[in-house]
Amino acid sequence: MRQRGENVKLFGWTFGEKSNRMIVINAESLETRVAVLESGRLQEYQVEHPTEERMVGSIYKGRIQNLEHDLQAAFVDIGMRKNAFLHYWDMIPDDESLLDMEEEPTRSRIPKKKRFTNNEIERRFPVGSEIVVQVTKGPIGTKGPRVTASLSLAGRYLVMVPGTRMKGVSRKIPDDRERQRLKSVLGRLQLPKDVGLIVRTAGQGARRSSFVTDMEDLAAKWAGLQEAIAAKPAPCCAYQEPDLLERVIRDWLTEDVDRVIIDSAEAYERIRELAKRISRAIKAKITLYEGERPVFEHYDVERQIEATFRRHVDLKSGGCIVVDETEALVAIDVNTGRYKGKGSQEDAIYEVNLEAVEEVARQLRLRNIGGLVVIDLVDMKSRKHQANVYRAMKEALKRDKARINVLPISELGIMEMTRQRVEESLLAATFVDCPYCRGRGVVKSALGVSVELQRHIQSALRRRKKTDQPAELQVFVHPTLLERLRREDEQLLVDIEAKYGARLSFKSEPARHIESYLIRDAVTNDVLYSSDK
């Protein structure tokens, strides 16, 4: 049995030792990228484009456009292309749910038990009335943003909750003595009127002076927000969530971070200015990168990011996982691959599944994918192995800030889970559908296109035969298809000409899509069929 404090090696990775945690920032005019490395391995990754408006976490003064009682939701004009979606139960603040979500104050609220009748909603929030809302979920696909009227402003140690008088400590802080100390600190803070505070988990062990500074910053933001709400006409943005650089200091730069590397002198000075408000020790961890190679290449981040976009992800053991992302569902298949193991086949399968769930949890964070996630594990007969893999997955998911619900492994060897979707996935935000394959990832084979082409040629000839006119057709195709017609289907085309007393001529067009073809009457020049229609 392993003794406490002893390190364990599995598939080349050492567990139990203190990892070297580093934040690497690549700041450019069109894109800011932040990577968190632990012992050189990519664990967190975020991208932001400064030219695009930051919606999630931002607060808007909007106008209610319509109430949909069937959906139990209102649609609010916040000045975006699509109206925002607001659940009826999100129109009234819910203090208790905030204690669970302080790590990400903009998460979707858990529905209140109290329900409001349609008449109550119409009386309190008539169509055309103004309402102040905060974006909890950005636009995804064809859906507009989702918002809530429960506002919150996040600081480094505190979350300010306007409209309430609550003073609470995150439920994620389990130590009773520390919770009592933090409540005592909260009790001595001078708060603005009708404003509550919640201590974030980052507040564990922090000094009272740190809370005072954090509260002063939040109070200044709240005052500016109130002024904007009063002065600006709806719809408008009253408060915008800080950019990625500031959020790194607020949310990611904790005591366990050893170094922060940034490749922009301007951003470096800005980060140091923000960090010095926290402590001199944290400010000293920030370093300007001046190497010749791009910073992400120097620290081997670029290669790991490229691997993130691959469908096929190799595991250290020789096994692999295959990730397929759709609009509402993510399917992940686990394969043993080349791994044979030194014990029984059942033990080998168990070890691959253990490693796979750790990698799946990492990939979900890196790719920022959510919705329904279905994991097809390698089938395990042992109930003990199944329970251990399930526990390993729950443990691996603890570091994920998104709200997650994972179910035990089913009789079919499937693990099902849901992961909160706040923004588009990394894949959807970085790539567009291939204009050639139209997002399918495949194109029809030359055989498949040839079959379709011959079918439409005969259809056109049958129509011409009814008019008793001689048929002479011109067919325009891609060079790959023309090669197929010449080498393998020539006799079939000759038979078609004989059957209908027609003449066929083919012309190659390199610029044409491989699945595209056009059939034209050579006499009248009329288009008889086009696969592009």
Same domain, 315 and 392: yes
Q: How many whole angstroms separate alpha carbon 281 and alpha carbon 275? A: 9
Name the region of 231 (left: φ>0; alpha: ψ -120 to 50; beta: rest): alpha
Determine the pLDDT at residue 11: 38
Q: What is the maximal distance between C-alpha atoms in the chain? A: 98
Instruction: Kindly state whether residues 188 and 318 are assigned to the same domain.
Output: no
CATH number at residue 211: 2.40.50.140
On whether residue 13 sits in a domain, the answer given is no
Answer whether residue 437 is part of any domain: no
Q: Is the pLDDT of residue 112 over 60?
A: no
What pLDDT is stored for residue 341 in this prediction? Answer: 65
Task: Identify whether residues 68 and 192 lie together within a single domain.
Answer: yes
Indicate whether 281 pLDDT > 90: no
Assess whether 339 and 463 both reside in one domain. Answer: no
Ordered DSSP codes for 172-185: T---HHHHHHHHHH
pLDDT mean over 3-27: 59
User: In this predicted structure, what is the pLDDT of residue 94?
Assistant: 58
At residue 514, φ and ψ (nearest 5 deg) are -60, -25
In-domain check, residue 251: yes
What's the chain's average pLDDT? Answer: 86
Quick: pLDDT tens for 451-498.
999 999 999 998 877 776 668 999 999 999 999 999 999 999 999 999
| Claim to verify: residue 157 and residue 264 sit in the same structural domain | no
What is residue 67's predicted lDDT score, i.e. its pLDDT? 94
Cis ω on the peptide bond leading into residue 235 (within 30° of 0)? yes
- Choose among 85, 56, 73, 22: nearest CA to 287: 22
pLDDT of residue 7: 45
Is the pLDDT confidence value at 49 over 60? yes
Instruction: Let me know: does 308 contact 367? Beta carbons within 8 Å.
Output: yes
Q: Terminal CA-to-CA distance of the chain, rounded, Å?
A: 69
Give this prediction's pTM: 0.79
**Percent of the chain topping pLDDT 70:** 91
Average pLDDT over every residue of 360-382: 93
Q: Report the pLDDT value the prediction gives residue 35, as an integer from 0 to 100.
A: 95
Indicate whether 18 pLDDT > 70: no
pLDDT of residue 533: 56
Please tell me whether residues 81 and 210 are part of one structural domain. yes
Instruction: Give the model's pLDDT for residue 464.
Output: 79
Judge if 291 and 375 occupy the same domain. Answer: no
Q: Is residue 178 part of a domain?
A: yes
Q: Are residues 227 and 270 in the same domain?
A: no
* H helices present in 142-298, as ranges: 176-187, 208-231, 244-247, 265-275, 280-284, 295-298
Res 473: pLDDT: 94
Interval 178-188: pLDDT, tens: 999 999 998 88
Residue 431 has pLDDT above 90, yes or no: no
User: Based on the domain organization, do 159 and 196 belong to the same domain?
Assistant: yes
In terms of domains, do 222 and 352 share one?
A: no
| 380 domain-assigned | yes
pLDDT-wise least confident of 157-171, 346-360, 405-419: 157-171
Q: What is the mean pLDDT of residues 414-431?
A: 87
Examine the domain organization and report whether 415 and 477 are in the same domain: no
Domain end position, chosen among 218, 242, 266: 242
Cα–Cα dist 491/93, whole Å: 75
The tally of domains found in the chain comes to 4
Work out the number of other CB atoms within 10 angstroms of the CB of residue 270: 17
For residue 395, what are the domain limits?
A: 309-430
Is residue 10 in a domain?
Answer: no
pLDDT given at position 114:
57
- Give the mean pLDDT of 228-236: 93
Instruction: Check which CATH number belongs to the domain holding 514 and give it.
Output: 3.40.1260.20
Same domain, 232 and 261: no
